[in-house]
Amino acid sequence: MTQSRKIQFLIGLLFMGFTNCNTNFSQKGLKNVSDYPIGTAINLKSTLADQKKLEITKKEFNSLTSENSMKMFRLLPTENDFTWKETDALVNFSQKNNMRLFGHALIWHSGTPQWVKDKLVKDSLWGKKFLKEYITTVVSKYKGKVSGWDVINEPLETRGGELRKTEWLKAIGPSYVAQALEAAHAADPNVDLFINDFNLERDTLKLNGLLALVEKLKSQNTPLTGIGFQMHYRMDIPDSLILKCLKKAASTGLKIHLSEVDLIFNKHNDSISGGIQEYENYSAEMAQAQANKFKRLVTLYHEAVPKAQRYGITFWGFNDRDTWIKSFFKIKDWPTLFDEQLEPKKAYWGFREGLEENFRIGQ
């Protein structure tokens, strides 16, 4: 080995040691070691009320997704009564801090207020008219301020590839998906339009169902630019399966957004209170395994998705204190990058290493 090669090698070792050292958390954020956006879901009120959480959000991320404020039940809780305050504040925050804002979600069965569901059951013609008017109003208001929308969130059944039997499907039929996409495109021709769903990385029947829907929409020239993998994935999901599923989705040519990432140790049945508590404590071995898995996720994303199709990686919350996993599934778990004291875990450093390595390679 020549002297110059030895020097390069030693510098490389020093750099790797630096990135692994938790005492050096003052360095630049995740967003600075990635060539695509790194995001987090955000509750703006909660974030602004906690200085440490606010500092982490601004330092680490350059893309934001609202947890709830942009969902229909918050924007239009009662008929003819739009409430824009929360979303307007989020728009202002994202622009002030030079962060991409991603819209989540225009049509979602669980985000549909009861008054809309009641009217859908009674009048399908009203449903078609309302679908277009609602999407047009929301997308037009934030035109040029929101970079992309989950136009349809969770359109498929929990398992398998069939369309979910929602009030939207029952009232309008399968065409509600295309109608929603067309309305969003008409309101903002430059915004990215996504279909977003969960378990696509492990339920191949569900993924195939989504891809069949995508191909049908493309054959009808329906505007659609991306697929969202929620990626609430588990430690026991094989990397080989994740890679296969991501490659199949990327073969459509659409942008791929890992849109709601967290990494769970325990299991669940995808329903409220459906958690299965297999692990009671977070051991050092578990922490290292999680770090390795997060690091590998970045590599899988790079291996499966061409650079032009990488819309970014967004976490559904970045700390174990606020994670939705615990309250929704009624289990104790540790699925995020930061612990309950808002300190970076090994998971953070593993994910960061994955970004740094692929960023240097320039894939």
* Cβ(152)–Cβ(213) below 8 Å: no
The question of whether 197 is a catalytic residue gets the answer yes
Instruction: Give the C-alpha separation, 284 to 290, whole Å.
Output: 10
Catalytic-labelled residue, pool 150, 182, 260, 356: 260
Instruction: Give the C-alpha separation, 64 to 312, whole Å.
Output: 11
Nearest residue to 341 via CA among 90, 38, 97, 25: 25
Q: What does 262-300 look like in DSSP terms, one character per residue?
A: EEESSEE-SSTT-EE---SS--HHHHHHHHHHHHHHHHH
Instruction: Give the C-alpha separation, 46 to 342, whole Å.
Output: 14
The token duo for 213 is 């829907």
CA distances 125 to 73, 120, 152, 168, 184, Å, are 21, 9, 20, 11, 19
Instruction: Give the C-alpha separation, 75 to 83, whole Å.
Output: 5
Instruction: Give the C-alpha separation, 90 to 44, whole Å.
Output: 7
* Cβ(131)–Cβ(116) below 8 Å: no
Catalytic-labelled residue, pool 60, 154, 201, 322: 154
Residue 268 amino acid letter: H
Catalytic-labelled residue, pool 67, 188, 192, 197: 197
The question of whether 201 is a catalytic residue gets the answer no
Instruction: Give the C-alpha separation, 142 to 127, whole Å.
Output: 23
Between the two ends of the chain, the Cα-to-Cα distance in Å is 27
The question of whether 154 is a catalytic residue gets the answer yes
CA distances 191 to 4, 84, 112, 224, Å, are 48, 20, 23, 10
* Cβ(60)–Cβ(350) below 8 Å: no
Catalytic residues: 154, 197, 260
